[in-house]
Amino acid sequence: MKRVFSGVQPTGNIHIGNYLGALKQFVELQDDHQCIYCIVDMHAITVPQDPKALKEHILDVAALYLAVGIDPEKSIVFVQSDVPGHAELSWVLTCSSYTGELSRMTQFKDKSKNKESAPTGLFTYPVLMAADILLYDTDVVPVGNDQKQHIELCRDLATRVNGKYPGTFVVPDGRFLKEGARIMALDDPSKKMSKSAENIHSRISLLDEPSKIKKSIMKATTDSDGVIRLDTENKPGISNLLNIYSVLSETPVADLEKKYEGKGYGDFKKDLVEVTVDALTPIRERFEEIRHSEELMTILRDGAEKADEIARKTMKRVKENFGLGL
């Protein structure tokens, strides 16, 4: 069975972009892959965090993993900082990376724009991400499009190390969905939907109540020509809503275009509200059931143990190949 690894940062406001780009794939893959899903808390501290809130967000993401359908009987679910191998391998990979390639990462460029100096962790963030992936001999990494450049860097690092020390790493492939890979902000479809945007109506969070979902969708930016058609370049707002509708309802975009021929944006949006509420309500209900349960803690503890077992084997090989330790 091929091995899958992916992670989500515990920063609150997990939204339908995260769901449609990543989490939905996590669930689909677990029947015929060996899946490892991580809550990447060490990535979260690349920007300032309130310790209490961070702890809560770790458990929120863990509960959301289960609420969307990740099955701990099939998949390993754990918290990154519970497995020391991530930090250990990250250092080894840091020593195989170049400042030039890290400076070219667009996410780093965006986050450090107009700042005289940026936190080092923000700069080396993609190396830690590569360590996450390579630590588990991962074959497939399901992610949204915004992580493409980081996956490429991970592949480059693995290939570079293998060139020097053959057989050290498995070179992984990214897995991107066609329609969910880049969900845009509802208030500005030129930007991707993000957890940190100030306007809460720019996103639909997985735990939003129906009234909030309705408000955000009805307010979503469209255009003035009134035709429901996928045209990302000229009609980015309605194209984004079509993508969301298509993935949530598992209906091809072409069928939706036919269904809404001659109809207005108002009708389309009303139906999208219904589809979204129907998709998110069971997730919210399941989340409430498990978020404060002892079961959640047990799953994370068991998950860390299983992950650590795999990680130790990889680190043993890595240290041997690099000549580290006794």
Q: Do the beta carbons of residue 259 and residue 228 sit within 8 Å?
A: no
The verdict on 129 binding ligand TYM (CB under 6 A) reads yes
Pick from 147, 202, 222, 314 the residue near ligand TYM by CB under 6 A.
147
Start-end of H helices in the chain: 16-18, 24-29, 41-44, 51-68, 85-94, 99-103, 106-112, 120-134, 148-164, 210-219, 236-249, 253-259, 265-290, 294-322
180-199: contacts with ligand TYM (CB under 6 A): 180-183, 192-193
2-31: contacts with ligand TYM (CB under 6 A): 5-9, 17-18, 21-22
The verdict on 35 binding ligand TYM (CB under 6 A) reads no
To ligand TYM, the closest distance from the beta carbon of 182 in angstroms equals: 5
Q: Do the beta carbons of residue 199 and residue 166 sit within 8 Å?
A: no
Q: Report the residue number, 149 or 162, with the smaller CB distance to ligand TYM.
A: 149
Contacts of 33 (CB under 8 A, 6+ apart): 1, 2, 3, 4, 140
Q: Do the beta carbons of residue 194 and residue 185 sit within 8 Å?
A: yes
The verdict on 174 binding ligand TYM (CB under 6 A) reads no
Give the catalytic positions in this structure: 111, 192, 195
Burial class of 169 by CB neighbour count within 10 A (0 to 12, 13 to 18, 19+): buried
The verdict on 72 binding ligand TYM (CB under 6 A) reads no
C-alpha to C-alpha distances, 70 to 45, 55, 75, nearest whole angstrom: 25, 21, 7
Residue closest to ligand TYM, measured at CB: 21
The verdict on 122 binding ligand TYM (CB under 6 A) reads no
To ligand TYM, the closest distance from the beta carbon of 180 in angstroms equals: 6
The verdict on 140 binding ligand TYM (CB under 6 A) reads no
With H, G, I as helix, E, B as strand and everything else as coil, classify residue 175.
strand
With H, G, I as helix, E, B as strand and everything else as coil, classify residue 136.
coil
Q: Report the residue number, 110 or 116, with the smaller CB distance to ligand TYM.
A: 110
Pick from 41, 82, 88, 132 the residue near ligand TYM by CB under 6 A.
132
To ligand TYM, the closest distance from the beta carbon of 208 in angstroms equals: 15
* Sheet containing 3-8: order of strands: 76-79, 34-39, 3-8, 140-142, 173-175
To ligand TYM, the closest distance from the beta carbon of 234 in angstroms equals: 20
Q: Report the residue number, 4 or 277, with the smaller CB distance to ligand TYM.
A: 4
Q: Report the residue number, 184 or 228, with the smaller CB distance to ligand TYM.
A: 184
With H, G, I as helix, E, B as strand and everything else as coil, classify residue 60.
helix
If binding means CB under 6 A, how many residues of this protein chain bind ligand TYM? 25
The verdict on 134 binding ligand TYM (CB under 6 A) reads no
The whole-angstrom separation of Cα 133 and Cα 151 is: 9
- Token couple for 171: 């070179």
Q: Report the residue number, 227 or 232, with the smaller CB distance to ligand TYM.
A: 232
Q: Report the residue number, 247 or 270, with the smaller CB distance to ligand TYM.
A: 247
Q: Which spans of this chain sit near ligand TYM (rule: CB under 6 A)?
A: 5-9, 17-18, 21-22, 40, 43, 129, 132-133, 141, 143-144, 146-147, 180-183, 192-193
